Amino acid sequence: MKKSFIIIMMLTLMLTLLLVGCGKKAAPAQKTDSVKPIKIALVTDVGGVNDQSFNQSAWEGLSRAQKDLGIKASYIESKQDADYMPNLETLYDSKNDLIWGIGFKMADRVLEAAKQNPNQKYAIIDFSYGDKTPSNVIGVLFKEQEASFLVGYIAGKMSKTGKIGFVGGMDVPVIHRFQYGFDAGVLYANPKAKIYEQYAESFTDAAKGKAIANQMYKNGADIVFHAAGGVGDGVIEAAKEKNLWAIGVDRDQSDLAPNNVLTSAMKRVDNAIYDVAKKMKNGEFDGGKTLTYGLKDGGVDIAPTTKKHVPQSILDEVSKIKADIISGKITTPSSKDAFNKWKKNYLK
């Protein structure tokens, strides 16, 4: 017992010495620039920085800001929800001028950190604290409903059967914005269209996404839109197999099935991040506010590959509707209640 204890101690000591010794060697000599660049960092949610979705988009925006604006960008990945708080702390310790939380799952943690460090600036994607936003925090929301409205309109026009599907991941507010914007767009194009809606209650189960999409196709749908993360891989796969249409989400998902992804409702997290960085460079910070990025400011859009499959006549109509949304002539609903009201106004 005694002996084992001594050996444990020795091993620990050796390891410690080894590490400390190396640690010293490893510390890089910091170059001191005359002008300190602005440092911006982000905490990804559990998807990680290469999730082919909004985390990746966020990092692309920050990298672009690094290239164009000369800010200093970095990121830290979360593996579990429990990582958010310590990761925010790690970035606080490395003295960043602005720390981003990517995704609404971090909402409560970013708020706590902001209260604790009133001199540190924070920003969060996909969440608004409303009136209670602290002065050192920016909330960033996207008008997913606007891009969804446009892809919905395309679907409504392109559908031969007049039946269209929507597959949601989980029943949460962000997904509702996609869903009801899409529904409104479909009905705006074709008031008689039938929309099938189903939630997978998962963001990971691709087989379930495929099954749900297959069922919709069987019921006569010829276009299915998904806002369902990994579940959407299955939706697009079903479209591929049946040679029908799927509509992608968050980024241009055309690469997953070039012949079957009709269009995608893109959420340009990168543009929002870049925009905030640019403002910071100019000494502006909209603390205490919620910034909302929509079609107008390039925060959402339809995929550039849309023109591959959609005829020019429909694209022209889409551009007109886009202008009308931007000018406020057409409103787009972001929740169930708003959708019901919208129906009363637009569909008489």
* Residues from 98 through 157 that contact another protein (CB under 8 A): 104-105, 107-108, 115-116, 127-128
Interface pick for another protein out of 97, 241, 286, 317 (rule CB under 8 A): 241
Task: Catalogue the E-assigned strands of 72-136.
Answer: 72-76, 98-101, 121-125
Q: Among the residues of 131-230, which ranges form H helices?
A: 144-158, 173-189, 206-218
For residue 46, count CB atoms less than 10 angstroms from its CB and return exposed for 0-12, middle for 13-18, buried for 19 or more. Answer: middle
Minimum distance from residue 218 beta carbon to another protein (Å): 6
Q: Which x/- pattern over 156-195 shows residues binding another protein (rule: CB under 8 A)?
A: -------------xxxxx----------------------
Closer CB to another protein, residue 21 or residue 311? 21
Interaction residues for another protein, span 286-315 (CB under 8 A)? none
The reply on whether position 225 binds another protein by CB under 8 A is no
| Burial label, 80 (beta-carbon count in 10 A; 0-12, 13-18, 19+) | exposed
Smallest distance, Å, CB 237 to another protein? 5
Q: Which of 94, 135, 319, 340 binds another protein (CB under 8 A)?
A: 94
Is residue 290 classed as helix, strand or coil in its secondary structure?
Answer: strand
Decide whether 151 or 238 has the Cβ nearer to another protein. 238
Distance of CA 14 to the CA centre of its chain: 46
Residue 246: helix, strand or coil by DSSP?
strand
Q: Please select the residue that binds another protein; options are 61, 101, 181, 230, rule is CB under 8 A.
A: 230
Q: How far, in Å, CA of 109 to CA of 325, rounded? A: 34
**3 state DSSP class of 31:** coil
State which of residues 240, 278, 279, 309 lies at the interface with another protein (CB under 8 A).
240
Q: Which 3 state secondary structure label does DSSP give 300?
A: strand
What span, in angstroms and rounded, lies between the C-alpha atoms of 339 and 145? 11
Total number of residues that touch another protein (CB under 8 A): 81
Of all helices (H) and strands (E), which one includes residue 67? helix 54-69
- Using CB under 8 A as the binding rule, whether residue 97 contacts another protein is answered as no
Do the beta carbons of residue 202 and residue 231 sit within 8 Å?
yes
Would you count residue 337 as binding another protein (CB under 8 A)?
Answer: no
Q: Pick the closer one to another protein by CB: 34 or 131.
A: 131
Among 120, 214, 305, 332, the residue binding another protein under the rule CB under 8 A is: 214
* Binding segment (CB under 8 A) for another protein, from list 11-19, 152-160, 299-307, 314-322: 11-19
Question: 26 to 65, contacts with another protein by CB under 8 A?
Answer: 26, 41, 46, 48, 50-52
The binder of another protein chosen from 180, 188, 196, 274 (CB under 8 A) = 196
* Minimal distance, residue 165 CB to another protein, in Å: 10
Cβ atoms within 10 Å, residue 12: 10
SS3 128: coil
Give least dist CB 228 to another protein, A: 10
279 binds another protein (CB under 8 A): no
Rg (CA), the chain: 23
Nearer to another protein, 127 or 182 (CB): 127
How far is residue 118 from each of residues 75, 156, 291, measured CA to CA in Å?
21, 49, 20
Q: Segment contacting another protein (CB under 8 A): 84-92, 156-164, 244-252, 325-333? A: 84-92
